């Protein structure tokens, strides 16, 4: 009997030694250890042919064989699987310095990125977003903004007309009036959108985008405008950027200012970006003209306000270093792909 | 506007450097665009005295020994015909920079550096210069135009830098003047600001003159269009002696870019630059009836202006006439029939205010511009009208070129244009607007310097607005005057200290649009922005017929060019052009979208704002690799993101989409309405424009779609029991649509939760005209677990219905 057991053990060892594949080894394992059809299980069935007194001893050696076989096959399986894994890994070597697979992420337009950034900054300060029509009435674009027909400021912007009374808005300020006519102060709005001017050269595009901001409430001061512009400039251009107001003129604000930011490229020492002045002009602003408030039915003795307007392309070009405004409208995928987030 | 420092100093003492003055001007609202020094290109040129000269035989040259004072004595070869021993001339030393001239010795051809040279064997250490070579002309320095050497005065200090000797050390400020300050469009105007900024007194130019006591009886001025000409003044000057102007006047005019013509013409130009008042001079001989009539032109009336251009006028144009005919195009240019001639003896000077808008419109309509019209377009004040005329008469007297008569007529409603206007404002309101407190004494100092004659009594600030400050109307105007002189650096940032708290951010519609953009980016699309205008040619590109509704576009009255002349009615042409541009630049693939307005005229209400609709345009291109279904994946991604059910159908009228492949195009429907189209760009367009490329195009009406983008997210319960999947393959006619099969399947079994097509086969293995479609069916139950036989029954019923409706067989 013991001989028979020993022979089986040797047979298993011999068979296993010839196997190099874990799946074959599993088949071999099944051949001996399968609960129903395995040869070791079959030995156990032989037990009933034995005399009762012989049974415990027989049971013991068969169990020993089974224990041995379980360990043996576990060990064999581990050995073969390790070899197989090593072989598989060896076959799958790559050159990690090769280029990455092409990405499929799209990208928002630089103008949208800037507009989003501005909206996020000002939304946190309580501004809502208003979008007005692009084909505007002369009244909203000019007259209500204190720019009557004979006003020389109309020359500041060459206007596209579609009829004597209708034009392509030259400024998002047109939206100010639509808001102030229909809303009582406090008003805090941002008005982003396309504007159009009859200018087409290396630095001008006949269509571009502006972001207009307007605050009307009791007790609004020029100092508040400066404070808000500081927040804007530091968020958009960097913590250490300063703003500078200098006198200017817009018909719809009084006093009017041009706003410069200290050059974020050179820190104000002078470089090519700031044309050696240390400052970069970024927007126009001012206290809302009394007449504009009156035109909208807001009492200028009770309320004051400020407004500011900036060119989104200008901010994008400054911030991202885009050299030519036309690049923003050409849809060249080599340009657009640089703005994926 | 060019302002020479030397001219400015005539009216105000300036004891700071030009750079400091530039900063002062900048701080008070006058940006200096460029600050340049005359003679800035010239260096190393000094006064030299020719001690002796020796002609070089058989040449026009001489060898000169030149004393250059502290720089030493040099031997210089010179070919000029006016070189003399004892004469003083500009000497460009070795290493100097001067202008190079062509063979004519007049035309400047850039700059040159002087080197040591050798002529006919004689060494030469420098160059004796002409006026042109050091950047002068006859107006800047008399004698400078002579093509030989510039002869310097006998007292010129030998060895001294040439620039101060010939006036090449001036500074030119190119000042930018905002539209609200037309009163600063002159030397005097800028001088007023400089005087105020520096706190120095302003020295007014002399305006006194004596008349000869004579009168021209019968001379009349009438203004028939006072709405366009609120003030017209004329003065008669006789015994005119036309001559050259004095050097000082010629020099000043030259510095601001005006060529000297004759004393009378120069005086009008001088007054324009000095006072900012355009002037005109008529030859009295040419004024029929010795009268001036200011009126609107008759329809078709003609005038030939001084530059010999003829114009046909209409009543929108203002003309100055004599008793019979127009003699000037008001404010723009005089008539050829009445100008100053060499033998002019009697002159009528005109100084008027014409309305800026009228001058601008006429000037633009006729395409005729002048220094005068450009000045009138900005607006002149009546005060300057009067001051300018007086100044011109003073200059007549000073230049002794005419005899001033008693005959001066001013036609105006405003009897006294010198009058100031009173204004009272609240000091506290001004400070409240600025957010700071400017001390009263500062307020008084600033406004005194600006000639506002201020007085403060309690909170009341009373001022007298000078007549030339037509821009000042109310307290904020005064606030601006104060802060620009007090300094914007006094403004301290505050953070809406008094304002109410408001709730900010995008509204739901604005947020959903951003979500849509992000969904498209997630599909690998780049956002683009194209011009809102294009041309009919771009619609030709899409093969749209002449009567296509997209051609009913709003036209600009004044487009930049025909290419940008109509407002977009659809976005696709811009998108196709973007694809073409990319392919031509070698960008072989791309996925693009644009969200923008389209514009549609309201035929019935032409004065109302046109309808602006929002559209989404999509284009995909990747060599020949893009398919219709790649594009449909993008529109389906939108549907998924916003939980919408888009349906697709072949266009009922394929002629509506001549730019799409007739077999690979569809209309996109939402809730039964067509809200867009999609498909492959037609072969005839893609083959011609982007050969080898397949292009997917789509355009959706976002205005129709946007209300559906507002849906909120809701959680749907997971299946209670495992779902069961079964695959079926159907053999059906090629004409049967997938969507129709799916609809019947869904109708056949309530437990069928989804149907997905996963394989399509047409070919040898199956009958011609048929296709094999393989679907994966998913069954779901929430009340009991399915048994196999239950599923078998479902499938059997589905197959039975498909067979009945479409003669579909299971494969």
- Per-residue pLDDT tens for B346-399? 999 999 999 998 999 999 899 999 999 999 999 999 999 999 999 999 999 999
Whether B521 and A256 lie within 8 Å, measured CB to CB: no
A215 and A292 together in one domain: yes
Q: What is the pLDDT of residue B604?
A: 65
B457 and B515 together in one domain: no
pLDDT tens per residue across span A132-186 = 999 999 999 999 999 887 776 676 558 999 988 899 999 998 888 999 999 999 9
Give the C-alpha separation, B464 to B447, whole Å.
10
Q: What is the pLDDT of residue A157?
A: 59
Is the pLDDT at A29 greater than 60, yes or no? yes
Q: What is the pLDDT of residue A94?
A: 79
In whole angstroms, what separates CA B340 from the centre of its chain?
A: 37
Residue A137 within any structural domain of the chain: yes
B470 and B525 together in one domain: no
**Residue A249, phi then psi, degrees to nearest 5:** -145, 125
Give the C-alpha separation, B331 to B320, whole Å.
9
pLDDT tens per residue across span B669-697 = 999 999 999 999 999 999 899 988 999 99
B47 and B96 together in one domain: yes
- Residue A78 C-alpha, separation from nearest chain B C-alpha, in angstroms: 36
Say which CATH number the domain at B184 has. Answer: 3.30.56.10
Range of the domain at B146: 43-166
Residue A8 within any structural domain of the chain: yes
Q: Describe the strand order of the beta sheet including B752-761 as a list of residue ranges.
A: B752-761, B770-779, B724-733, B809-810
Q: Is A197 on the interface with B (CB under 8 A)?
A: no
Q: Look over chain B and give the mean of its residue pLDDT values, rounded to a whole number.
A: 93
Cis-peptide into A255, omega within 30 deg: yes
In whole angstroms, what separates CA B299 from the centre of its chain?
A: 34
Residue B515 within any structural domain of the chain: yes
Give the C-alpha separation, A254 to A290, whole Å.
8
Give the C-alpha separation, B755 to B744, whole Å.
11
Q: Is B532 on the interface with A (CB under 8 A)?
A: yes
- Residue B254 C-alpha, separation from nearest chain A C-alpha, in angstroms: 28
Residue A105 within any structural domain of the chain: no
A83 and A128 together in one domain: no
Give the C-alpha separation, B694 to B697, whole Å.
10
Measured between beta carbons, the chain B residues lying within 8 angstroms of A245 are: 488, 491
Residue A100 within any structural domain of the chain: no
The total domain count for chain B is 6
Confidence of residue B420 (pLDDT cuts 50, 70, 90): very high
| Domain-terminating residue out of A91, A118, A146 | A91
Specify the higher pLDDT residue, A333 or B602.
A333
Residue B323 within any structural domain of the chain: yes
Q: Which range among A12-26, A113-127, A139-153, A229-243 shows the weakest confidence by mean pLDDT?
A: A139-153
pLDDT tens per residue across span B712-739 = 888 888 988 999 999 999 999 998 999 9
Residue B520 within any structural domain of the chain: yes
Is the pLDDT at A38 greater than 90, yes or no? no
A262 and A130 together in one domain: yes
Range of the domain at A203: 110-339
Provide mean pLDDT across the span B316-333.
94
Q: Which 152-181 residues of chain A touch chain B by CB within 8 A? A: 152-153, 155-156, 160-163, 165-166, 168
Q: Is B361 on the interface with A (CB under 8 A)?
A: no
Residue B143 within any structural domain of the chain: yes
Whether A109 and B497 lie within 8 Å, measured CB to CB: no
Provide mean pLDDT across the span B246-261.
94
Measured between beta carbons, the chain B residues lying within 8 angstroms of A290 are: 474-476
Measured between beta carbons, the chain B residues lying within 8 angstroms of A255 are: 434, 476, 479-480, 483-484
Whether B556 and A168 lie within 8 Å, measured CB to CB: yes
Residue B119 within any structural domain of the chain: yes
Whether B484 and A247 lie within 8 Å, measured CB to CB: yes
Q: Is A233 on the interface with B (CB under 8 A)?
A: no
B734 and B588 together in one domain: no
Total CB pairs under 8 A between chain A and B: 261
Residue B208 within any structural domain of the chain: no
B471 and B550 together in one domain: no
Q: Which 262-291 residues of chain A touch chain B by CB within 8 A? A: 287, 289-290
Provide mean pLDDT across the span A207-232.
95
Measured between beta carbons, the chain B residues lying within 8 angstroms of A143 are: none
Whether B474 and A290 lie within 8 Å, measured CB to CB: yes
Q: Is B716 on the interface with A (CB under 8 A)?
A: no
Q: What is the pLDDT of residue A152?
A: 66
Residue B203 within any structural domain of the chain: no
- Most B CBs within 10 A among A333, A334, A335, A337, hence the mutation to make, goes to A333
Residue B718 within any structural domain of the chain: no
Q: What is the pLDDT of residue A220?
A: 95
B697 and B553 together in one domain: yes
B156 and B184 together in one domain: no
The total domain count for chain A is 2
- The label of the residue with tokens 């219905």 reads B801
Q: What is the pLDDT of residue B597?
A: 97
Q: Which 167-226 residues of chain B touch chain A by CB within 8 A? A: 178-182
Q: Is B602 on the interface with A (CB under 8 A)?
A: no
Give the C-alpha separation, A223 to B646, whole Å.
53
B589 and B633 together in one domain: yes
């Amino acid at each position: 009997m013991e001989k028979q057991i020993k022979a089986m053990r040797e047979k298993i060892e011999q068979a296993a030694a010839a196997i190099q594949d874990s799946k074959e080894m599993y088949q071999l394992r099944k051949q001996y250890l399968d609960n129903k059809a395995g040869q070791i299980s079959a030995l156990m069935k032989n037990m009933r042919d034995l005399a009762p007194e012989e049974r415990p001893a027989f049971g013991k050696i068969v169990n020993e064989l089974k224990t041995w076989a379980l360990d043996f096959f576990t060990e064999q399986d581990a050995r073969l699987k390790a070899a197989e894994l090593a072989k598989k890994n060896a076959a799958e070597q790559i050159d990690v310095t090769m280029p990455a697979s092409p990405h499929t992420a799209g990208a928002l337009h630089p103008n949208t990125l800037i507009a989003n950034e501005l909206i996020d900054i000002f939304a946190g300060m309580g501004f809502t977003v208003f979008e007005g029509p692009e084909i505007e009435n002369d009244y909203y674009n000019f007259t209500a903004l204190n720019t009557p027909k004979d006003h020389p400021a109309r020359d500041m912007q060459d206007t596209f007309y579609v009829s004597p009374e209708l034009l392509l808005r030259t400024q998002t300020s047109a939206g100010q009036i639509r808001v102030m006519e229909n809303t009582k102060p406090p008003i805090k709005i941002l008005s982003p959108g396309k504007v159009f001017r009859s200018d087409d050269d290396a630095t001008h595009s006949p269509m571009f985008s502006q972001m207009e901001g307007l605050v009307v409430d009791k007790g609004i001061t020029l100092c508040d405008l400066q404070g808000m512009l500081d927040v804007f400039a530091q968020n958009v251009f960097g913590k250490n950027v300063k703003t500078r107001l200098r006198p200017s003129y817009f018909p719809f604000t009084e006093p009017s200012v041009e706003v410069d930011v200290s050059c974020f490229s050179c820190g104000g020492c002078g470089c090519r970006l700031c044309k050696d002045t240390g400052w970069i002009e970024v927007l126009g602003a001012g206290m809302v003209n009394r007449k504009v408030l009156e035109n909208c039915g807001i009492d200028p003795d009770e309320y004051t306000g400020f407004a500011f307007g900036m060119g989104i392309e200008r901010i994008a070009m400054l911030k991202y270093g885009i050299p030519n405004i036309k690049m923003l409208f050409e849809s060249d995928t080599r340009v657009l792909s640089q703005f994926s987030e | 506007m060019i302002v020479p420092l030397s001219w400015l100093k005539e009216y105000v003492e300036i004891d700071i450097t030009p750079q400091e003055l530039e900063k002062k001007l900048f701080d008070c609202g006058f940006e200096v665009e460029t600050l340049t020094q005359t003679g800035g290109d010239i260096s190393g040129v000094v006064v030299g005295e020719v001690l002796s000269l020796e002609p070089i035989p058989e040449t026009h040259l001489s060898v000169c020994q030149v004393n250059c004072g502290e720089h030493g004595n040099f031997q210089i070869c010179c070919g000029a015909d006016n070189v003399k021993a004892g004469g003083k001339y500009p000497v460009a030393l070795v290493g100097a920079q001067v202008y190079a001239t062509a063979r004519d010795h007049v035309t400047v051809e850039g700059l040159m550096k002087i080197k040591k040279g050798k002529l006919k064997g004689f060494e030469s250490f420098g160059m004796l210069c002409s006026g042109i070579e050091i950047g002068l002309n006859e107006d800047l320095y008399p004698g400078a135009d002579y093509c030989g050497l510039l002869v310097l005065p006998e007292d010129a200090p030998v060895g001294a830098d040439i620039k101060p000797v010939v006036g090449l050390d001036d500074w030119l400020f190119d000042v930018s003047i905002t539209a609200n300050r037309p009163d600063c469009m002159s030397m005097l105007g800028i001088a007023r600001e400089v005087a105020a900024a520096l706190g120095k007194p302003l020295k007014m130019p002399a305006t006194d003159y004596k008349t000869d006591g004579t009168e021209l009886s019968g001379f009349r001025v009438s203004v028939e269009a006072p709405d366009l000409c609120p003030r017209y003044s004329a003065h008669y000057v006789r015994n005119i002696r036309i001559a050259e102007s004095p050097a000082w006047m010629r020099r000043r005019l030259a510095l601001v870019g005006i060529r000297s013509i004759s004393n009378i013409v120069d005086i009008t130009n001088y007054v324009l630059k000095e006072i900012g008042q355009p002037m005109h001079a008529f030859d009295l001989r040419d004024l029929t009836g010795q009268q001036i009539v200011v009126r609107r032109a008759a329809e078709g009336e003609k005038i030939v202006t001084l530059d010999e251009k003829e114009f046909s006028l209409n009543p929108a144009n203002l003309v100055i006439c004599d008793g019979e005919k127009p003699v000037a195009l008001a404010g723009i240019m005089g008539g050829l029939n009445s100008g100053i001639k060499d033998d002019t003896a009697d002159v009528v000077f005109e100084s008027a205010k014409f309305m800026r808008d009228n001058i601008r419109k006429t000037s633009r309509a006729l395409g005729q511009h002048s220094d005068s019209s450009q000045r009138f377009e900005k607006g002149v004040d009546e005060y300057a009208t009067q001051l300018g005329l007086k100044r011109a008469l003073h200059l007549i007297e000073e230049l002794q070129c005419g005899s001033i008569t008693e005959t001066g007529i001013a036609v105006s409603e405003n009897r006294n244009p010198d009058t100031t206007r009173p204004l009272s404002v609240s000091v506290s309101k001004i400070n409240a607007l600025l957010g700071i407190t400017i001390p009263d004494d500062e307020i008084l100092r600033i406004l005194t310097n600006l000639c506002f004659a201020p007085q403060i009594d309690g909170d009341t600030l009373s001022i007298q607005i000078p007549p030339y400050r037509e821009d000042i109307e109310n307290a904020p105007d005064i606030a601006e005057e104060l802060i620009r002189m007090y300094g914007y650096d006094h403004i301290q940032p505050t953070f809406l200290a008094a304002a109410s708290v408001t709730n900010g951010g995008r509204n739901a519609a604005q947020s959903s649009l951003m979500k849509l953009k992000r969904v498209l980016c997630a599909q690998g699309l780049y956002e683009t922005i194209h011009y809102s205008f294009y041309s009919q040619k771009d619609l030709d590109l899409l093969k749209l017929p002449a009567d296509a509704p997209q051609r009913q576009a709003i036209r600009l009255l004044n487009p930049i060019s025909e290419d940008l002349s109509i407002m977009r009615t659809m976005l696709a042409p811009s998108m196709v052009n973007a694809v073409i541009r990319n392919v031509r630049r070698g960008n072989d693939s791309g996925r693009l979208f644009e969200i923008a307005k389209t514009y549609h005229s309201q035929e019935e209400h032409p004065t109302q704002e046109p309808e602006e609709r929002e559209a989404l345009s999509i284009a995909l291109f990747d060599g020949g690799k893009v398919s219709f279904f790649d594009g449909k994946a993008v529109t389906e991604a939108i549907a998924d993101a916003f939980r919408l059910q888009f349906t697709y159908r072949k266009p009922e009228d394929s002629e509506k989409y001549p730019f799409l492949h007739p077999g690979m195009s569809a209309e996109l429907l939402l809730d039964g309405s067509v809200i867009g189209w999609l498909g492959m760009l037609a072969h005839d367009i893609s083959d011609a424009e982007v050969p080898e490329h397949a292009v997917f195009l789509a355009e959706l009406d976002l205005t129709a779609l946007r209300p559906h983008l507002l849906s909120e997210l809701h959680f749907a319960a997971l299946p209670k029991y495992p779902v069961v999947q079964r695959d079926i393959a159907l053999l059906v006619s090629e004409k049967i649509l997938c969507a129709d099969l799916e609809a019947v399947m869904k109708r056949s079994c309530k437990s069928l939760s989804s149907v997905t097509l996963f394989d399509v086969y047409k070919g040898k293995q199956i009958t011609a005209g048929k296709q094999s479609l393989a679907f994966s069916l998913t069954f779901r139950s929430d009340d009991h677990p399915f048994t196999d036989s239950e599923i078998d029954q479902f499938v059997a019923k589905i197959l039975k219905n498909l067979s009945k409706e479409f003669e579909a067989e299971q494969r």
